[in-house]
Amino acid sequence: MFSYRHAFHAGNHADVLKHTVLIAALQHLVEKDAALTVLDTHAGAGLYRLDGDYANTSAESADGIARLIAPGVPALQPALQAYLDMVRAFNQGAATRVYPGSPFIIQRLLRERDKLKLFELHPTDLRALAGNVAQLEAGRQVAVLHEDGFEGIKKFLPPPARRALVLCDPSYEMKNDYGKVLDMAADSLKRFATGTYAFWYPIIPRPEAHDLPRRLKTLATKAGKSWLHATLTVKSSKITENAAGDVKRPGLPASGMFLINPPFTLKAALKEALPQMTELLAQDRNATHTLESGG
């Protein structure tokens, strides 16, 4: 259950998509005066070293954030530039050694009156998260909770000011995570129908992964809610074998973000950013993106 560690994947192509969407959504939500509550169901450690042992094991950031900061990269679209500026804000000088996870990206964008609830079950990541958050000296604005985020968010919905963003990005190592995401989405909409709900998921050769966005779409449509679905594919998902008989597994080829009640500005921002994201992060000729919305 506790085998997944996001530190191995920090700054990869899935993070570029997830955090670009997250920042664009939050930038719009904090424009309104009323307080905002943000719930992060699977917070992780909060901050990651890109030059540390975990990240270097898989070196996934080399085909993610590193491609955006490489020399000769053309001017970025606004949503991608906002993402890059956010990552750079956690680093000094030209080198990018620190990668902010969702908790630190969110906290950086919040105002004093806003609240952030971080859920994490992994004991090692929980300790790291608590230590990292303590350095923020954010007081009661940020709460670190050793709880299952799927269940833990229930007591915070609806929030006092009736404005909330929920970010849900489990590892999906457990097959039943897909069902838990759907159950959480349905329950949350009943508790707080006007919240903004953002779900990240991997696009892998597994029926549950392909069913998830379709079922979220059905759920949102039945509830009479608007939705937005963005995907980024950077390479083929096929397992290949060379002449020597060595089998190469591709790693994560693609991921998606599905939002219920997305900010109305988000689709236009992603329509500009996704083609450039695809071009810069492509690993083979199968790279592509999709963007659809409804409701």
pLDDT at 7: 77
Catalytic residue flag (residue 183): no
pLDDT at 198: 98
- pTM for the whole thing? 0.95
Quote the CA–CA distance of 295 and 290 in Å, as a whole number. 17
For 187, other C-beta atoms within 10 Å of its C-beta total 15
Quote the CA–CA distance of 58 and 53 in Å, as a whole number. 9
294, two tokens: 């409804």
pLDDT at 285: 95
CA atoms within 13 A on the CB side of 165: 29
pLDDT at 57: 65
Choosing from 114, 125, 169, 177, the catalytic residue is 169
pLDDT at 192: 98
pLDDT at 251: 87
Classify 61 as helix, strand or coil: helix
Strands 240-241 and 142-145: unpaired
Quote the CA–CA distance of 222 and 178 in Å, as a whole number. 19
Placement of tokens 């409701």 in the chain = 295
Q: Are 13 and 189 in contact (CB under 8 A)?
A: no
Classify 3 as helix, strand or coil: coil
Question: Strands of 142-145's sheet, edge to edge?
Answer: 142-145, 115-119, 37-40, 164-168, 196-203, 254-260, 227-233, 288-294
Residues of the chain with pLDDT under 70: 1-4, 53-58, 241-249
